[in-house]
Amino acid sequence: MHKLVVLYPEPVDREHFREYYVNTHLPLVARIPGVLAYRYSFEVQAPRGESPYFAVFEADFADLESYRAGMSTPEAAAVVADVPNYATGGSLTLTYSTKD
Q: In whole angstroms, what is the distance from residue 1 CA to residue 45 CA?
A: 25
Q: In whole angstroms, what is the distance from residue 94 CA to residue 6 CA?
A: 6
CA–CA distance from 39 to each of 12, 29, 48, 49, 56 (Å)?
A: 23, 11, 24, 24, 8
34 burial (CB, 10 Å; 0-12 / 13-18 / 19+) is buried
Cβ atoms of 61 and 4 closer than 8 Å: yes
pTM: 0.93
Report pLDDT for 92.
97
Say if residue 49's pLDDT is above 90.
no
